[in-house]
Chain A
Amino acid sequence: GIQVEQSPPDLILQEGANSTLRCNFSDSVNNLQWFHQNPWGQLINLFYIPSGTKQNGRLSATTVATERYSLLYISSSQTTDSGVYFCASSSYGNKLVFGAGTILRVKS
């Protein structure tokens, strides 16, 4: 099945800094989603982005399907951005496969 790898595994930022999280996937995908798991354990949908670029406030994401990667950009980071960021994708099916996540800690 499809493999999903995320990098970096963990990241510490000073408040106000920018960051880029990467997700590599091993096969063609028909679904790619970015999630933020907050300290309460909730999985928050950030983007549904099997291809192209989307922006939502300080967050944006780009997926280059032909090169099998996706990037999540966080600008002007805030302490509330802390948590774990997951990338998940599926390859012509219903089964979302999750990466191991990037643990982000934003320090004030």
Chain B
Amino acid sequence: DAGVIQSPRHEVTEMGQEVTLRCKPISGHNSLFWYRQTMMRGLELLIYFNNNVPIDDSGMPEDRFSAKMPNASFSTLKIQPSEPRDSAVYFCASRQTPTGAVQPQHFGDGTRLSIL
């Protein structure tokens, strides 16, 4: 079975440019999560969706960040305009969330983002 698929794997761009990260969750999973990993702050949750609806975006650092999930098989995380401090590895994870139960989250391979 295919896991969580993220693209691109690496992105290098100049400060001020728009960056779009993409994620395809595991088929049948109805929860999707975006995380960011930095040396200073470790792994932290940015936003998550249940059934394509954003539930908690309290981890989104500022208005330059936005995330969408137009359908059950696709999500984007956008940064506009990008800044050097946004350089990090961004992970997407998905999970099947049946009513009344908790299942493990499965992570993609991440996107390594460098803003020059």
Contact = CB atoms under 8 A, between A and B. Distances in A.
A binds B: yes
A43 B110 contact: yes
Contacts of B89: 41
A31 B33 CA distance: 15
Given A94-B31, A94-B55, A45 B50 contact: no
B97 to A, nearest CB: 8
Interface residues of B, number: 24
Given A88-B43, A94-B50, A98-B42, A45 B110 contact: no
Contact of A95 (B42, B45, B107): B45
Contacts of B45: 95-97
Most buried by B among A35, A43, A95: A43
A30 B95 CA distance: 14
Contacts of A31: 102, 104-105
A23 to B, nearest CB: 14
Interface of B is mostly: strand
B56 to A, nearest CB: 7
Given A94-B55, A96-B33, A42 B44 contact: no
B12 to A, nearest CB: 16
Interface size class of A (residues with CB under 8 A): 20 to 34
A50 to B, nearest CB: 7
Contacts of B48: 94-95
B110 A33 contact: no
A50 B110 contact: no
Contacts of A35: 107
Contacts of B43: 86, 88, 98
Nearest to B49: A94
6 contacts: A30-B102, A33-B104, A33-B105, A98-B43, A100-B42, A101-B42
Given A31-B105, A41-B89, A95-B45, 5 more contacts: A31-B104, A43-B110, A45-B104, A50-B102, A101-B42
